[in-house]
Structure 1
Amino acid sequence: MQRMGMMIGLAPEHVAEYRRLHADAWPAVLERLRASNITNYSIFLREPEMVMFGYWEYRGTDFAADSAAIAADPVTRDWWAVCGPMQRPLDSRAEGEWWAPMEEVFHLD
Protein backbone atom coordinates (compact mmCIF):
# COMPACT_ATOMS: atom_id res chain seq x y z
CA MET A 1 0.00 0.00 0.00
CA GLN A 2 1.19 3.50 -0.84
CA ARG A 3 -0.12 6.59 1.03
CA MET A 4 -0.42 9.73 -1.07
CA GLY A 5 -1.05 13.34 -0.06
CA MET A 6 -1.66 16.31 -2.31
CA MET A 7 -2.69 19.97 -2.06
CA ILE A 8 -4.65 22.50 -4.08
CA GLY A 9 -6.44 25.78 -3.48
CA LEU A 10 -10.17 26.39 -3.61
CA ALA A 11 -11.84 29.57 -4.84
CA PRO A 12 -13.68 31.06 -1.83
CA GLU A 13 -16.83 31.75 -3.83
CA HIS A 14 -17.18 28.02 -4.56
CA VAL A 15 -16.86 26.60 -1.03
CA ALA A 16 -20.56 25.84 -0.57
CA GLU A 17 -20.93 24.22 -3.99
CA TYR A 18 -17.73 22.18 -3.59
CA ARG A 19 -18.91 20.91 -0.22
CA ARG A 20 -22.35 20.07 -1.66
CA LEU A 21 -20.86 18.15 -4.59
CA HIS A 22 -18.56 16.12 -2.37
CA ALA A 23 -21.28 15.39 0.18
CA ASP A 24 -23.07 13.57 -2.64
CA ALA A 25 -20.22 12.53 -4.96
CA TRP A 26 -21.24 10.83 -8.18
CA PRO A 27 -21.35 7.04 -7.65
CA ALA A 28 -19.66 6.28 -10.99
CA VAL A 29 -16.70 8.50 -10.03
CA LEU A 30 -16.34 6.68 -6.71
CA GLU A 31 -16.55 3.30 -8.43
CA ARG A 32 -13.83 4.32 -10.91
CA LEU A 33 -11.56 5.31 -8.03
CA ARG A 34 -12.17 1.97 -6.31
CA ALA A 35 -11.58 0.07 -9.57
CA SER A 36 -8.25 1.91 -9.84
CA ASN A 37 -7.21 0.72 -6.37
CA ILE A 38 -7.77 4.05 -4.57
CA THR A 39 -9.05 3.61 -1.00
CA ASN A 40 -9.37 5.65 2.19
CA TYR A 41 -9.70 8.90 0.21
CA SER A 42 -10.33 12.12 2.13
CA ILE A 43 -10.23 15.81 1.26
CA PHE A 44 -9.71 18.41 4.02
CA LEU A 45 -10.26 22.17 3.66
CA ARG A 46 -8.36 24.81 5.62
CA GLU A 47 -10.14 28.14 5.80
CA PRO A 48 -9.50 31.06 5.56
CA GLU A 49 -6.42 30.09 3.51
CA MET A 50 -8.63 28.09 1.14
CA VAL A 51 -6.14 25.25 0.85
CA MET A 52 -7.30 21.66 0.46
CA PHE A 53 -5.34 18.58 1.44
CA GLY A 54 -6.21 15.29 -0.22
CA TYR A 55 -5.13 11.91 1.12
CA TRP A 56 -5.61 8.44 -0.32
CA GLU A 57 -4.13 5.01 -0.17
CA TYR A 58 -3.16 3.21 -3.35
CA ARG A 59 -3.37 -0.58 -3.14
CA GLY A 60 -2.55 -1.52 -6.72
CA THR A 61 0.67 -2.43 -8.50
CA ASP A 62 0.64 -0.05 -11.50
CA PHE A 63 -0.22 3.49 -10.46
CA ALA A 64 0.43 4.92 -13.93
CA ALA A 65 -2.06 2.53 -15.55
CA ASP A 66 -4.65 3.03 -12.82
CA SER A 67 -4.27 6.83 -13.07
CA ALA A 68 -4.67 6.63 -16.85
CA ALA A 69 -7.88 4.62 -16.42
CA ILE A 70 -9.26 7.29 -14.10
CA ALA A 71 -8.30 10.07 -16.53
CA ALA A 72 -9.89 8.22 -19.47
CA ASP A 73 -13.21 7.64 -17.71
CA PRO A 74 -15.91 9.86 -19.28
CA VAL A 75 -17.91 10.33 -16.07
CA THR A 76 -14.77 11.24 -14.14
CA ARG A 77 -13.89 13.74 -16.86
CA ASP A 78 -17.36 15.28 -16.48
CA TRP A 79 -16.81 15.47 -12.69
CA TRP A 80 -13.47 17.20 -13.24
CA ALA A 81 -15.17 19.66 -15.64
CA VAL A 82 -17.52 20.65 -12.80
CA CYS A 83 -14.98 20.67 -9.94
CA GLY A 84 -11.86 21.84 -11.77
CA PRO A 85 -12.91 25.46 -12.29
CA MET A 86 -13.52 25.76 -8.53
CA GLN A 87 -9.97 24.69 -7.71
CA ARG A 88 -6.86 26.88 -7.68
CA PRO A 89 -3.68 24.87 -8.36
CA LEU A 90 -0.64 25.91 -6.35
CA ASP A 91 1.90 28.11 -8.15
CA SER A 92 4.65 25.77 -6.93
CA ARG A 93 3.26 22.65 -8.60
CA ALA A 94 5.29 20.94 -11.31
CA GLU A 95 4.36 21.27 -14.96
CA GLY A 96 1.48 18.95 -15.82
CA GLU A 97 0.27 18.62 -12.21
CA TRP A 98 -3.11 19.82 -10.99
CA TRP A 99 -3.10 18.74 -7.35
CA ALA A 100 0.47 19.17 -6.08
CA PRO A 101 1.82 15.94 -4.53
CA MET A 102 3.42 15.98 -1.11
CA GLU A 103 6.19 13.92 0.43
CA GLU A 104 5.32 11.90 3.51
CA VAL A 105 7.84 12.73 6.21
CA PHE A 106 6.21 10.95 9.18
CA HIS A 107 3.70 8.19 9.79
CA LEU A 108 2.41 6.59 13.00
CA ASP A 109 0.56 3.31 12.55
Structure 2
Amino acid sequence: MSQQLWTYPSSGPKSGSSYPGRRFAQIVKLKPEFVAEYKACHTAVWPEVLQQIKDCNIQDYSISHDPDTGILFASFKYVGKDYDGDMKKMRANPKVREWWRMTDGYQESLVPGATSSEAGEPGWWKPMEEVFYHL
Protein backbone atom coordinates (compact mmCIF):
# COMPACT_ATOMS: atom_id res chain seq x y z
CA MET A 1 0.00 0.00 0.00
CA SER A 2 2.90 2.30 -0.57
CA GLN A 3 1.93 4.08 -3.77
CA GLN A 4 0.94 7.75 -3.74
CA LEU A 5 -1.60 8.21 -6.49
CA TRP A 6 -3.54 11.43 -6.20
CA THR A 7 -2.89 15.11 -5.92
CA TYR A 8 -2.46 15.68 -2.18
CA PRO A 9 1.17 15.85 -1.03
CA SER A 10 2.49 13.10 1.24
CA SER A 11 2.85 15.66 4.01
CA GLY A 12 -0.93 16.11 4.03
CA PRO A 13 -2.88 19.33 4.21
CA LYS A 14 -1.45 22.80 4.56
CA SER A 15 -2.48 24.43 7.81
CA GLY A 16 -5.84 26.13 7.59
CA SER A 17 -6.89 24.28 4.45
CA SER A 18 -9.70 21.81 4.10
CA TYR A 19 -8.31 18.31 3.60
CA PRO A 20 -10.74 15.67 2.36
CA GLY A 21 -8.09 12.94 2.25
CA ARG A 22 -6.49 11.13 -0.66
CA ARG A 23 -8.11 8.28 -2.53
CA PHE A 24 -6.07 5.29 -3.65
CA ALA A 25 -6.92 2.52 -6.10
CA GLN A 26 -4.81 -0.55 -6.80
CA ILE A 27 -5.05 -3.89 -8.59
CA VAL A 28 -3.46 -7.31 -8.27
CA LYS A 29 -4.38 -10.68 -9.77
CA LEU A 30 -5.90 -13.42 -7.63
CA LYS A 31 -4.68 -16.90 -8.54
CA PRO A 32 -7.75 -18.93 -9.55
CA GLU A 33 -6.87 -21.84 -7.28
CA PHE A 34 -7.01 -19.55 -4.21
CA VAL A 35 -10.32 -17.72 -4.70
CA ALA A 36 -12.08 -19.57 -1.88
CA GLU A 37 -9.16 -19.16 0.56
CA TYR A 38 -8.80 -15.46 -0.22
CA LYS A 39 -12.49 -14.77 0.28
CA ALA A 40 -12.53 -16.85 3.47
CA CYS A 41 -9.63 -15.01 5.09
CA HIS A 42 -11.26 -11.67 4.25
CA THR A 43 -14.46 -12.66 6.04
CA ALA A 44 -12.39 -12.79 9.24
CA VAL A 45 -9.53 -10.32 8.89
CA TRP A 46 -7.24 -10.48 11.91
CA PRO A 47 -8.10 -7.79 14.49
CA GLU A 48 -4.47 -6.62 14.65
CA VAL A 49 -4.50 -5.96 10.90
CA LEU A 50 -7.78 -4.04 11.07
CA GLN A 51 -6.50 -1.97 13.99
CA GLN A 52 -3.26 -1.14 12.18
CA ILE A 53 -5.20 -0.02 9.10
CA LYS A 54 -7.23 2.31 11.32
CA ASP A 55 -4.15 3.51 13.22
CA CYS A 56 -2.49 4.35 9.89
CA ASN A 57 -5.34 6.70 8.94
CA ILE A 58 -6.90 4.48 6.28
CA GLN A 59 -10.67 4.58 5.89
CA ASP A 60 -13.27 3.23 3.46
CA TYR A 61 -11.04 0.30 2.47
CA SER A 62 -12.64 -2.18 0.10
CA ILE A 63 -11.47 -4.99 -2.18
CA SER A 64 -13.55 -6.21 -5.11
CA HIS A 65 -12.99 -9.28 -7.29
CA ASP A 66 -13.67 -9.78 -11.00
CA PRO A 67 -14.07 -13.55 -11.40
CA ASP A 68 -13.69 -13.35 -15.20
CA THR A 69 -10.19 -11.83 -15.10
CA GLY A 70 -9.11 -12.68 -11.55
CA ILE A 71 -8.39 -9.01 -10.88
CA LEU A 72 -8.71 -7.72 -7.32
CA PHE A 73 -9.48 -3.99 -7.14
CA ALA A 74 -8.70 -2.24 -3.85
CA SER A 75 -9.68 1.28 -2.94
CA PHE A 76 -9.24 3.29 0.22
CA LYS A 77 -9.04 6.81 1.55
CA TYR A 78 -6.01 8.10 3.45
CA VAL A 79 -6.95 10.85 5.93
CA GLY A 80 -3.68 11.32 7.81
CA LYS A 81 -0.93 13.91 7.48
CA ASP A 82 2.14 11.67 6.95
CA TYR A 83 1.42 8.88 4.46
CA ASP A 84 5.03 7.69 4.21
CA GLY A 85 5.34 7.59 8.01
CA ASP A 86 2.06 5.74 8.40
CA MET A 87 3.12 3.17 5.80
CA LYS A 88 6.37 2.63 7.74
CA LYS A 89 4.25 1.93 10.83
CA MET A 90 2.14 -0.51 8.79
CA ARG A 91 5.23 -2.39 7.56
CA ALA A 92 6.67 -2.51 11.09
CA ASN A 93 3.72 -4.50 12.46
CA PRO A 94 4.62 -8.23 12.58
CA LYS A 95 0.97 -9.35 12.28
CA VAL A 96 0.49 -7.18 9.18
CA ARG A 97 3.63 -8.67 7.63
CA GLU A 98 2.35 -12.16 8.45
CA TRP A 99 -1.00 -11.28 6.84
CA TRP A 100 0.77 -9.98 3.74
CA ARG A 101 2.86 -13.16 3.43
CA MET A 102 -0.33 -15.21 3.54
CA THR A 103 -2.34 -13.10 1.09
CA ASP A 104 0.58 -12.50 -1.30
CA GLY A 105 0.71 -16.27 -1.75
CA TYR A 106 -2.82 -16.11 -3.16
CA GLN A 107 -1.93 -13.32 -5.57
CA GLU A 108 0.15 -12.54 -8.62
CA SER A 109 1.52 -9.00 -8.80
CA LEU A 110 1.05 -7.02 -12.00
CA VAL A 111 4.02 -4.78 -11.13
CA PRO A 112 7.29 -5.65 -12.90
CA GLY A 113 9.98 -6.44 -10.33
CA ALA A 114 7.62 -6.68 -7.35
CA THR A 115 8.56 -9.49 -4.99
CA SER A 116 6.17 -9.07 -2.04
CA SER A 117 4.09 -6.60 -0.06
CA GLU A 118 6.80 -6.59 2.62
CA ALA A 119 9.62 -5.72 0.24
CA GLY A 120 8.48 -2.14 -0.31
CA GLU A 121 9.21 -0.71 -3.72
CA PRO A 122 8.15 -1.59 -6.25
CA GLY A 123 4.78 -2.10 -4.60
CA TRP A 124 3.00 -5.45 -4.85
CA TRP A 125 -0.35 -3.90 -5.83
CA LYS A 126 -0.35 -1.92 -9.09
CA PRO A 127 -1.50 1.68 -8.62
CA MET A 128 -4.36 2.92 -10.76
CA GLU A 129 -4.81 6.44 -12.05
CA GLU A 130 -8.05 8.16 -11.13
CA VAL A 131 -9.69 9.51 -14.27
CA PHE A 132 -13.04 10.55 -12.81
CA TYR A 133 -14.48 11.30 -9.40
CA HIS A 134 -17.80 12.89 -8.49
CA LEU A 135 -18.89 13.56 -4.95
Q: Which category of TM-score, normalised to the shorter sequence, fits these structures?
A: over 0.9
C-alpha separation between the residues in 1 aligned to 2:93 and 2:44?
19
Unaligned runs of 5+ in 1: none
Instruction: Specify which structure has the bigger relative contact order, considering alpha-carbon pairs within 8 angstroms and separated by 6 or more residues.
Output: 1
Question: Hey, what does 1:17 align to over in structure 2?
Answer: 37
Question: Hey, what does 2:67 align to over in structure 1?
Answer: 47
Larger % of helix: which?
Answer: 1
C-alpha separation between the residues in 1 aligned to 2:112 and 2:96?
25
The answer as to whether partners of 1:43 and 1:53 remain within 8 angstroms in 2 is: yes
Question: Hey, what does 1:31 align to over in structure 2?
Answer: 51
Larger % of strand: which?
Answer: 1
**Cα displacement string for residues 12-58 of structure 1 (whole angstroms, at most 9, x for unaligned residues):** 00000000000110011000000000000000000121001000000
Comparing 78-87 with 31-40, greater Cα deviation is found at 78-87
The answer as to whether partners of 2:111 and 2:126 remain within 8 angstroms in 1 is: no
The correspondence of residues 1-109 of structure 1 with structure 2, limited to 5 A, is 1-91=21-111, 96-109=122-135
The AA in structure 1 aligned to 2:45 is A
**Cα displacement string for residues 80-109 of structure 1 (whole angstroms, at most 9, x for unaligned residues):** 111111111015587611001111111111
- Largest Rg, 1 or 2: 2
Unaligned runs of 5+ in 2: 1-20, 115-120
The AA in structure 2 aligned to 1:101 is P
The answer as to whether partners of 1:93 and 1:100 remain within 8 angstroms in 2 is: no
TM-score by length of 1: 0.95
| Percentage of matched positions with identical amino acids | 37
What is the CA RMSD across the aligned residues, in angstroms?
1.4
C-alpha separation between the residues in 1 aligned to 2:110 and 2:99?
20
The AA in structure 2 aligned to 1:12 is P
The answer as to whether partners of 1:93 and 1:99 remain within 8 angstroms in 2 is: no
The answer as to whether partners of 2:111 and 2:122 remain within 8 angstroms in 1 is: no
Residue 28 of structure 2 aligns to a residue in which SS?
A: strand
TM-score by length of 2: 0.77
